[in-house]
Amino acid sequence: MRILKLTFFYLMIMLLAMALSLAGVRMSVALGIFAFIVVAVIYRHVHILYRTNNMQQVDKFVKNQKKQPFFAYVYAIAHSTKAEQLQVLDEVIVKIKQPAIKNNYLFNKAILEQDITAAKEAAEKIQKEPLTSYALCYIAALEGRTTDMRSEKLTQHWMQPAIEAVFAHQMKDETAFDRFTKESIDAARGIQKYSLIHSFKQMKNEVKKS
């Protein structure tokens, strides 16, 4: 369906370029308009994925793309129960071929299942920074190893405060948890901000239930 939509979109753009040419517009100008529209569409997608703070835009985009493995899991974080998230992860893990990405999903699954042993095994196999260091620091935070939960390899600005929030969650320190979740979310953009918002929301709900 996605390929069909893309084919239809580019066909319409090409027909527009041809129509402009037939109307007397120079082919170079028509092609320039075509290129501009394509770049504008690509820029919009990149902006939503990596730069925007508009979470309604991200939610709509993720919903429309949820048949793709990556977006299926992100959508599940925002709209599904833990059991449903685990089911989605199982489906995604089967489809993903890249070892680093597959092991990162295996790590996420182990964390959801509260299986620290499996989480450690997956983290060691990721072998891609800063994902490996983030996973190892996450585990250290869960285990209360404060020295090991901090690393200069956490190069994304949202990462270290996210780890601090995990530790605060373990310590049931709601004030610190709120402070670090805000710091992490404020540092993120696009789909990463969206994922953090909903992940932290689930963690906060767990604290309320306990």
pLDDT at 31: 66
CB 149 within 8 A of CB 162: no
Q: Which of 190, 168, 167 is nearest to 177 (CA)?
A: 168
pLDDT at 205: 87
DSSP per residue over 82-127, as a string?
HHHHHHHHHHHHHH---HHHHHHHHHHHHHHTT-HHHHHHHHHHH-
CB 148 within 8 A of CB 136: yes
pLDDT at 44: 87
Neighbours of 111 (CB within 10 A): 19
Give the tokens for residue 15: 């027909």
pLDDT at 137: 98
Task: Return averaged pLDDT per consecutive 10 residues of the chain, 210 residues in all.
Answer: 53 61 62 72 87 96 92 95 96 95 97 97 97 98 97 97 97 96 98 97 80
pLDDT at 11: 63
pTM to 2 decimal places:
0.86
Burial 187-210 (b: 16+ CB within 10 A, else e): bbbbbbbbbbbbbbeebbeeeeee
Greatest CA separation for the chain: 71
The sign of the CA dihedral 39, 41, 45, 48 is positive
> CA-to-CA distance for 141 and 79, rounded, in angstroms?
26
- Asked if the bond preceding 130 is cis, omega within 30° of 0, the reply is yes
pLDDT at 1: 47
Q: Which of 36, 57, 37 is nearest to 47 (CA)?
A: 57
Find tokens 């089911």 and name the residue.
87
